[in-house]
Amino acid sequence: MMVTENLMQFIWKLRLFNTIALESTEGVPLSVVNVGQHNLNAGPDFKMARIILGNEEWAGHIEMHVRASDWNRHHHQYDVSYNNVVLHVVWINDQVIYRKDGTVIPTLELSAYVDQDLLMKYANMMTRAYWIPCQAQLDSVDTFKRSMWLDALSYERLEMKILDVFSILAKADNDWERVFWVWMCRGMGLSVNVDMFQELGEKLPFQVLQKYRFDPFKIEALFFGISGLLPRDHPDEYTRQLIDEFDYQKAIHDLVVINGNWKKLRMRPYNFPELRVAQLAALFSGKSLSLSKILDVEGIEEARSLFELNTLNDYWRDHFSFTGPTRTKHAGKIGKGTIDVLIINVIVTFLFAYGKYYGIEKYMDKAIRFLELLPVERNVIIEKFKEYGWPVQNASQSQSLLQLKKWYCDKKQCLNCRIGAVILRNG
């Protein structure tokens, strides 16, 4: 199989090689006292390592290459940061490597000390067309190690999400109220129309909206007009009123309509973008959502109540879009499952981002507590993990599985996954 430097680093870091009777390529007895600290930045792969070569103990750095000749190919011979390398670990020793002063750098040919079963197991994980690389061994990982990794992944997922919040913040001149509403719009896009909803949030004239906050019709006209969802052909009376109002507001405030394609293919009517925009407008004009209320919310039921709709226009009681009325009336409210998803994606993420930005631990702790109290999300990924013996108990763990699947399993980053490490180490 094709060995990579990443695999070599993994083997070295976890000591997955035979440490008995090690010798350098020159036949000098070698002991690894400390493998060093894995360096993820520029420079040697492992720093502050300690080895005993012959009768002498050396402290310094470890550099790894698949072929010894890669040292010169990477121009390390000219880089002073490699002067303190005490051991060159290679898979194939195809060339003697010298320091700048002409002395030979001690070399370990790692391939001679690695069990072939480990290499075969890794090769199988990388090449088989499984849903996840380790699915055949997934249920062999004990509960404690699984739980520890899920906790870490949940935190990692939050850390990644808030980078998007900070990106919006940078463009909004640190206006956290505006950032919240952009993030709220993004959240209403769920997974299908998330980019379109974020663009809607970014183009909404926040100062104008604040001026008309107690006028639901004007708010709805602004939301729908800027979304570009208002049909100009054969509109009904209500839609014509929205068009007239928006055209007036657009003229006096120089508003910009978003340019993009809203997705509705194979979508449940309750998720149609028109209904979601109507719900957003109602939440805004009803003042149930605001930065201060998000920061003050203490319990799950209180958080859910923030998404209750009391001002939704009657038009949406028998419409999912502007194409015509439905045969039966519907409540037009946001479903309980969707509300919980919004709490996860909007409230939890925003609390964590705000707390992280200002160093306020109570908001970060509250975000994590909400995830632990919310029920498991329902989707195909969670159900699939359950089939392989990995049921989860709360939204924190289901978020962890989504993180695991997207950023580790799908990318085959098994060497960076604690589960992959456990499976490879167990032989």
CB 49 within 8 A of CB 61: yes
On the question of pLDDT at 2 being above 90, the answer is no
- Which one of 373, 390, 406 terminates a domain? 373
Q: Is 25 part of any domain? A: yes
Helix (H) or strand (E) holding 249: helix 237-253
Closest listed residue to residue 286, CA positions, set 322, 326, 333, 253: 333
Collect contacts of 173-180 with beta carbons under 8 A, ≥24 apart. 175/206, 176/291, 176/354, 177/206, 177/290, 177/291, 178/206, 180/289, 180/290, 180/291, 180/294, 180/350
Per-residue model confidence (pLDDT) at position 145: 93
DSSP 343: I
In angstroms, the CA 50 to CA 192 distance is 52
SS3 assignment, position 91: strand
407 is a domain residue: no
Do both 85 and 205 map to the same domain?
A: no
> Both 207 and 325 in a single domain?
yes
Q: Which residue in the block uniquely carries the two structure tokens 């690389």?
A: 133
Q: Judge if 181 and 254 occupy the same domain.
A: yes
Q: Would you state the pLDDT for residue 202?
A: 96
Residue 266 within a domain: yes
Whether residue 180 is found in the same domain as residue 262: yes
Does some domain include residue 365?
A: yes
pLDDT digits (tens, 9 = 90+) for 80-99: 889 999 999 999 999 999 98
Reported as a single tens digit per residue, the pLDDT across 275-295 is: 999 999 999 998 778 899 999
Tell me whether residue 287 is in a domain. yes
**Boundary of a domain, candidates 46, 80, 114:** 114
Angle between helices 395-404 and 143-171 (to 10 degrees): 80
Instruction: Looking at the structure, tell me whether residues 99 and 176 fall in a common domain.
Output: no
Collapsing DSSP to helix, strand or coil, 107 comes out as strand
User: Do 298 and 231 share a structural domain?
Assistant: yes
> Could you tell me if 180 and 281 lie in one domain?
yes
Statement to judge: residues 69 and 211 lie in one domain: no
Tell whether 188 is covered by a domain.
yes
Average pLDDT over residues 48-57: 96
The answer to whether the CB of 108 falls within 8 A of the CB of 88 is yes
Q: Are residues 200 and 294 in the same domain?
A: yes
Specify the pLDDT at position 228: 96
Q: Is residue 136 part of a domain?
A: no
Q: What is the pLDDT confidence band of residue 49, given thresholds at 50, 70 and 90?
A: very high
- State the average pLDDT for the chain: 94
Q: pLDDT tens-digit profile of 294-326?
A: 999 999 999 999 998 877 889 999 999 998 898
Same domain, 285 and 199: yes
314 belongs to a structural domain = yes
**b/e string for 228-245 if b means 16 or more Cβ within 10 A?**
bbbeeeeeeebbeebbeb
221-233 pLDDT per residue, tens: 999 999 999 998 8
Q: Are residues 101 and 202 in the same domain?
A: no
Residue ranges making up the domain that contains 77? 5-114
Last residue of a domain, one of 91, 114, 137: 114
β-bridge partners, 54: none
CA–CA gap between residue 136 and residue 284 (Å, rounded): 49
Residues 6+ apart with CB under 8 A from 277: 188, 200, 223, 224, 227, 229
pLDDT at residue 427 in the model = 56
* DSSP character at residue 233: S
* pLDDT, position 1: 67
Quote the pTM value.
Answer: 0.88
Number of structural domains found in the chain: 2
Does residue 178 share a domain with residue 107?
no
